[in-house]
Amino acid sequence: MLVIVCVAQAMVVLDATIVNVALPSIQRGLRFSPSSLQWVITMYTLIFGGFMLLGGRAGDLIGRKRVFGAGIVLFSAASLLNGVAQSPVMLIAGRGLQGLGGALLTPAVLAIITTSFGDAKDRATALAIWSAIAAGGGAVGLMLGGILTDLASWRWIFFVNVPVGVALAIVTARHVPESRSQRAHPSFDLPGAVAVTGGLLVLVFAIVKSNTYGWGSVRTIGLLAVA
């Protein structure tokens, strides 16, 4: 069980950095403008961070195994979408879906570990392994992104997630125990999560476009006010 959740966590962490090395190839392949290219990374990070609390809450109410499995399926499907992307908009949207899948998956991983290991020593060991993967995954992602881009294509930095995700979904259904909070109040703030994430997206968009519009322009000031 620990192997399953740690591999899933590694997949999410890797995708936060694996794209960095491939950005020049992505820009040439899909004809990204310099200002829009950074959204390939920003969209993933913002959606991931903005919906993580909601993902943890959903796991408490619906069941951690169920939310974990849903996160794997969504993350893998979004990876496939990114791999076949034919336009900048399609890739950026797919990266947002990847971030949402990661936001469902990551808090469920931690909750599954803490509830599955009753012994304090075993739980500490499992959390140490999880922390090591979370800390080192970014560096591995940079290296793997360079290798896949050089030997194959930038599309393979996304395609590589698909078979891993399918395998994880199968073994999760068989080997990961279900759990949920018995004390959780049956509600979660979906509008709040959407509002916070939307505000962050508008803020980043305003900063990115400030070089084009100018910091004192009506557009920039209006976007900052909305955010």
Give pTM, 2 decimals: 0.85
d(CA 22, CA 84): 15
Distances 44 to 77, 148, 174, 208 between C-alpha atoms, Å = 14, 20, 29, 16
Whose CA is closest to 52, among 109, 5, 1?
Answer: 109
**Does domain 2-183 fall into CATH 3.40.50.300?**
no
Give the residue carrying structure tokens 């920039």. 220
For 177, phi then psi, to 5°, come to: -75, 150
Digitized pLDDT (tens) for each residue of the chain, 227 residues in all: 788 888 888 888 888 888 988 999 999 999 998 878 988 988 898 888 888 888 888 888 888 999 999 999 999 999 999 999 999 999 999 999 999 999 999 999 988 888 888 788 888 888 888 888 877 777 888 888 889 988 889 999 999 999 999 999 999 998 888 887 766 566 666 677 677 777 777 777 777 667 667 777 777 778 778 76
Domain ranges of the chain: 2-183, 189-227
Q: Which amino acid would we find at residue 57?
A: R
